[in-house]
Chains A and B, each alone.
Chain A
Amino acid sequence: MDFIFSHYNYWITIFLMMVGFYIVISRGNLIKKIIGLNIFQVSAFLLYISIGAVQGGAAPIITEGVELYSNPLPHVLILTAIVVGVATTALALALVVRIKESYGTIEEDEIHEHDHSL
């Protein structure tokens, strides 16, 4: 029981990972897929942030009287990954706009029908 509660951040990570992955696979709406992808990416961010945290550690700024700091590196890494995630989302949304313009729909099965009816 203690094991479950003391690692709650990892459980949340796993939960978000599965939710996000499931949405990407199961939904046919292109926007919903992007939302799923975002949730999936957020789970990775959370994983990194959990790794970097040190129990009882202060923010990694040198202060007198503080001995224990959190590890800043994973947090910095994940800033980079967040930027990549934002860029991916922006590009994906732009593509969806273009798809909507040329197909008139953002449902995957309808797009499929359009391509095959030609």
Chain B
Amino acid sequence: MQEHISLLLVVIPLITALIVAVLPRGILPWASTLVATFICVVLASMQLWEVINGGVISYELGGWKPPWGIEYRIDTLNAFVALIVSGIAAITLPYALLSAEKEIPPHQIPLFYSAFLLCFTGLLGITQTGDIFNVFVFLEISSLSSYVLISLGSKRQALTSSYQYLIMGTLGATFFLIGVGFIYSQTGTLNMADLARILPEVTELKTIHTGFAFILIGLALKLALFPLHLWLPNAYTYAPSVITVFLSATATKVAVYVVIRILFYVMPSGFMATIPIGDFFVLLGIAGIIIMSVYAIYQSNVKRLLAYSSVAQIGYMVLGIGLASTAGVTATIIHLFNHALMKGALFMAVGAIIYRIGSCRMDNIHGLGRQMPWTFGAIVIGGLSLIGVPGTAGFISKWYLVLAAIEQSAWISVAAILTGSLLAVIYVGRLIEALYFKPATESQQNLKEAPILLLAPTWVLVFANIYFGLDTELTVGVSEQAAQALKAIVK
């Protein structure tokens, strides 16, 4: 059992997805999904514990020796990302019961949970596998199921945004596939550890350069890197609330993880210095932070505001990657975790508002903060964390990112990070102004607070935001260990 954890993390949700699809309506599909995700959290924690104390785990699928067979290779980095994904899934599910009941037709509920589990399988698979083609397969499993999940949104725009995401996502995946083909043609291997061993001999070849270019552009589409983010705001806005929470906290994060894996593990060390890819990422990161934060200020839909803010936050992560130093990548990994906490909490709170009034337009939520104090509290604390106020998780990630930028005297990056925080003050401020300082309409005077089943998971994340803002031992410790294990970081 112990040695099979890495595989079980993928197999359990996959098999549960099949079972859930044929279960009758009612509470059973939800309960099975809940049990499966909780088992996954336990397994992911055990896996992380084992990796931190015992070093890299290598699991050979079907007993085939790598590099011929598929290998699951777990180090601190992917064990941590796997824990983020399964943790968020487990917190989202108690929330899903009421929220999904409200927003999804009853006959689709079992299939909804089935698609959710498939998406979960795909995301966990990406983190577990050590085989680059396997990454593509899991990427598509998670993407295809997220197209389905987004299209389940109650407005008809959900269909068009899902379609838009499908087109851009498939283009991205095919770019990734072509890149893998180029690299395979020169190295004859797909195992990432084996690639890292062989690639230094062939770095001069143009085919390898082209291959990496294709792979990185494909991934940039998947992680919604500015200016390839066009699918994201619509997809997040029109998806069911639960799905927005889950995808915003996990899907783009996993794509960021793959970028880190490719750049600092598969690519030979020193390769990044020969091509201006780091500067390119820094540039796009800065542009993303500033432009997308300004966009967020002008949105009239709360979910869309937060979606644009998500693209800006991805800018921070990419900026950390672009700095290409241990400190920069550490900051990216910390932000990966902290951003999942803050956006999870914020989207959950917005979902609670949608649960009560069926809308999240700015002019429909006036004064709701007084009627729904707990939901409002969650938005305030989540918002402060998004800005990066000391005492919240958001401060920790920005602090380490600024330190990493100062280390390289990258003053423009420092300025961009601080400007991004100031812009966040404006858009979070607008949200709070609408919720608290504008008078409520007559019809909304007697609105009740959201049900406890929605509030409890939200507040778990809110407390996590505060807890990880004060006690950074886990996040910073693990992230540093993960970044130091990436051997290709030279600076």
Which A residues fall within an 8 A CB radius of B? Answer: 17, 21, 24, 30, 33, 37, 40-41, 43-44, 47-48, 51, 74, 77, 80-81, 84, 87-88, 91-92, 95-96, 98-99, 102-103, 111, 115
Which of B174-182, B239-247, B339-347, B463-471 is the contact stretch? B174-182
Q: Say which size band chain B's interface belongs to.
A: 20 to 34
Which of B156-164, B304-312, B432-440 is the contact stretch? B156-164
A40 in contact with B174 (CB, 8 Å) = yes
B171 in contact with A37 (CB, 8 Å) = yes
B177 in contact with A87 (CB, 8 Å) = no
A13 — nearest CB in chain B belongs to which residue? Answer: B178
Q: Contact partner of A81 among B160, B163, B177, B185, CB < 8 A?
A: B177
Which residues from B are CB-within-8-Å of A88? 140, 144, 166, 170
A118 to B185, CA, bound (A): 52
Top 8 A-B residue pairs of the complex, sorted by shortest distance between their CB atoms: A102-B156, A51-B185, A84-B140, A95-B163, A99-B159, A44-B177, A44-B178, A47-B181
The verdict on B184 contacting chain A, using a C-beta distance below 8 Å, is yes
Which B residues fall within an 8 A CB radius of A? Answer: 133, 136-137, 140, 144, 147-148, 151, 156-157, 159-160, 162-163, 166-167, 170-171, 173-174, 177-178, 181, 184-185, 190
Which residues from B are CB-within-8-Å of A87? 140, 144
B162 in contact with A95 (CB, 8 Å) = yes
Which residues from A are CB-within-8-Å of B151? 95, 98
CB distance from B107 to the nearest CB of A (A): 16
B214 — nearest CB in chain A belongs to which residue? Answer: A44
A87 to B181, CA, bound (A): 21
Q: Contact partner of B181 among A44, A80, A84, A96, CB < 8 A?
A: A44
CB distance from B136 to the nearest CB of A (A): 8
Which residues from B are CB-within-8-Å of A74? 181, 184
Contact status of A80 and B137, CB under 8 A, knowing A48-B181, A88-B144, A95-B151: yes
CB distance from A70 to the nearest CB of B (A): 14
Interface pairs (11), CB distance under 8 Å: A37-B167, A37-B171, A41-B174, A43-B178, A81-B177, A88-B140, A91-B166, A95-B147, A95-B151, A95-B163, A102-B156
Chain A interface, >50% SS class:
helix
A88 to B133, CA, bound (A): 18
CB distance from A52 to the nearest CB of B (A): 9
Which residues from B are CB-within-8-Å of A41? 170, 174
A91 to B166, CA, bound (A): 9
Q: Contact partner of B167 among A24, A84, A99, A103, CB < 8 A?
A: A24
Which residues from B are CB-within-8-Å of A99? 156, 159-160, 163
Which residues from A are CB-within-8-Å of B171? 21, 24, 37, 40
Which residues from B are CB-within-8-Å of A47? 178, 181
Which residues from B are CB-within-8-Å of A24? 167, 171
CB distance from B175 to the nearest CB of A (A): 9
Which residues from A are CB-within-8-Å of B144? 84, 87-88, 91
A111 in contact with B160 (CB, 8 Å) = yes
Which residues from B are CB-within-8-Å of A115? 157, 160
Which residues from B are CB-within-8-Å of A51? 181, 184-185
A92 to B157, CA, bound (A): 15
CB distance from B140 to the nearest CB of A (A): 5
A91 to B140, CA, bound (A): 12
CB distance from B181 to the nearest CB of A (A): 5
CB distance from B366 to the nearest CB of A (A): 21
Q: Contact partner of B156 among A21, A48, A81, A103, CB < 8 A?
A: A103
A91 in contact with B160 (CB, 8 Å) = no
Sample of 20 further A-B pairs with CB below 8 A, known A24-B171, A77-B133: A24-B167, A37-B167, A37-B171, A40-B171, A44-B174, A44-B177, A44-B178, A74-B181, A74-B184, A80-B133, A80-B137, A81-B136, A88-B166, A91-B144, A91-B148, A91-B166, A95-B163, A99-B159, A99-B160, A102-B156
CB distance from A102 to the nearest CB of B (A): 4
Which residues from A are CB-within-8-Å of B147? 91, 95
A101 to B159, CA, bound (A): 11
Which residues from A are CB-within-8-Å of B184? 51, 74
A81 to B134, CA, bound (A): 11
Which residues from B are CB-within-8-Å of A17? 178
A33 in contact with B167 (CB, 8 Å) = yes
A102 in contact with B159 (CB, 8 Å) = yes
A111 to B178, CA, bound (A): 32
CB distance from B363 to the nearest CB of A (A): 15
A100 to B202, CA, bound (A): 50
A44 to B137, CA, bound (A): 15
CB distance from A65 to the nearest CB of B (A): 26
A92 to B147, CA, bound (A): 9
A47 to B157, CA, bound (A): 36
A73 to B190, CA, bound (A): 10
Which residues from B are CB-within-8-Å of A44? 174, 177-178, 181
A95 in contact with B174 (CB, 8 Å) = no
A35 to B178, CA, bound (A): 19
